[in-house]
Amino acid sequence: MSERRKRLHELLLALINKEDDFELIEDDTTEFTNNYYEKDTASLSRVISKNRKIIRKYQSLVKSAITLDALMDSENDENQQIQK
């Protein structure tokens, strides 16, 4: 694993640890094996909607980690230029 990827993982884990209500994607496979009665379809829709929100949160955390890493790289580059 590259050094940058390790840094991104560390940043992402730090951001996740800061989250008070970090949720995992719901895995209720019984919802997907039913015959899709009207009640089940509504329940499935709620699960899908909730999972989409969770995935958007994950994406936000990943984008934040990438941005922080890029900022740190930029600062390091500037510091190296100043020291030369």
Convert the pLDDT of each residue in 57-72 to its tens digit. Answer: 999 999 999 999 999 9
pLDDT, one tens digit per residue, over 4-48 is 899 999 999 999 999 988 898 877 655 455 555 666 667 778 888
Give the model's pLDDT for residue 57: 95
pTM attached to this predicted model:
0.73
Give the model's pLDDT for residue 39: 66
What is the identity of the amino acid at 35? N
Give residue limits of the domains in the chain.
3-83
| More confident call, 19 vs 79 | 19
**Does 56 score more than 60 pLDDT?**
yes
Instruction: Answer positive or negative: Cα dihedral of 3, 64, 48, 19.
Output: positive
In what helix (H) or strand (E) does residue 56 lie, and over which residues does it extend? helix 38-83
